[in-house]
Amino acid sequence: MPSHSHDDPPTPDTSAPGAGPPANRLDVVCLGNALVDVLASAKDADLMELDLVKGTMALVDHERSAAIYDRMGATTEASGGSAANTAAGVAALGGRAAFLGRVADDLFGQAFTHDIRSIGVAFDPIPTAAVPGKVVSGHCLVLVTEDAERTMATHLGVASEFGAVDLHDGHLTSTQVVYLEGYLWEQGPAKAAMREAIETAHLNDAAVALTVSDPFCVQNHKAEFLELLNGDLELLFANEEEAMMLFGVSSFDAAVDAVAETGVLAVLTRGAQGSVVVTAGGPLAVPAAPVGAVVDTTGAGDLFAAGFLYGITNGLSPEDAARLGGVCAAEVISHVGARPLADLRALAVEAGLFG
């Protein structure tokens, strides 16, 4: 397996300034759970009653998903899925993105496919035949509390069957970055598919990025994630809490030191405090972008990753890429839903990041 480090920039094309990527090369291929978000307002007391931990994502079976849904207020449905939101963000910035995931041929699967394609992301799934109430597309119940925090209960449905058959070689062999969702690490066939994707990426000079996704993912897969940092990954995304859990340290500074030792480019997000980019040259703190009223934090991390990935695959320094991540995250938390509504490209230009 090829070994990449900071001497080996994660994005081959930025190492050849001016040359630019081949016209048909993708910026990012994202692998993740294809989910439709089902959003409703909720109170803290509702979360307690439903036994949900605020700010986290829980995997639930069909029965529990139905029971939570029954207790939710009026909902809005919109396409979601962490890595899918990231792909949508890259496309909204003008980038070339593809998504790999599994849907069923039901209304949720059709809406997911329509929405991600309509924003310009390449997505060519092999839909599983749906059986109402049994074989369904994945969906994520999102309870948005008054403090704009989101708490999620995901019923994966057919997304849990994502595997090697869903990989699209045409995409994986022609991209600058392959981006993996930590949530997928819960599932055996998905894990095997990701291992295969890592190999294909490296054979084709692509960098591999991982988001650890959620504290529970770090808890469940800590050893494997640490192992991936030893040669499989060129780029790591984690928030403050996840980074501390991953390295088993009790301060953010210690997490920064620990990730620096791995030699992997890392972006650690800290909510309103912005982010820290850990490069071979040391850590760089990047302030958060200004935001008006925070309405719904769903998708904040996903859109941060979109801005960063678009940035580093399109000529920005890691620091400016983190700034762009902040701009994208600020947009998505200013409204309900996990995909951008405003013109991200225009916001990036406004922030002075592109001519």
Residues that bind a second copy (CB under 8 A): 40-41, 69-70, 72-79, 88, 105-108, 111, 114-116, 118-119, 130, 132, 337, 339, 341
By beta-carbon proximity to a second copy, the closer residue of 120 and 271 is 120
Core vs surface per residue 132-160: b (16+ CB within 10 A) or e: eeeebbbbbbbbbbeebbbbbbbbbbbbb
By beta-carbon proximity to a second copy, the closer residue of 7 and 63 is 63
How far apart CA 210 and CA 227 sit, in angstroms, is 12
By beta-carbon proximity to a second copy, the closer residue of 260 and 294 is 294
Core vs surface per residue 253-280: b (16+ CB within 10 A) or e: eebbebbbebbbbbbbbbbeebbbbbbe
By beta-carbon proximity to a second copy, the closer residue of 14 and 298 is 298
The nearest distance, CB 295 to a second copy, in angstroms, is 10
Strand segments (E) across 89-145: 97-100, 138-144
By beta-carbon proximity to a second copy, the closer residue of 31 and 92 is 92
The nearest distance, CB 53 to a second copy, in angstroms, is 23
The nearest distance, CB 228 to a second copy, in angstroms, is 32
The nearest distance, CB 142 to a second copy, in angstroms, is 13
Give phi and psi for 23, each to the nearest 5. Answer: -55, -35
Tokens read off for 321: 């890429």
The nearest distance, CB 66 to a second copy, in angstroms, is 10
How far apart CA 14 and CA 22 sit, in angstroms, is 12
Query: What count of other Cβ atoms lies within 10 Å of the Cβ of residue 327?
Result: 23
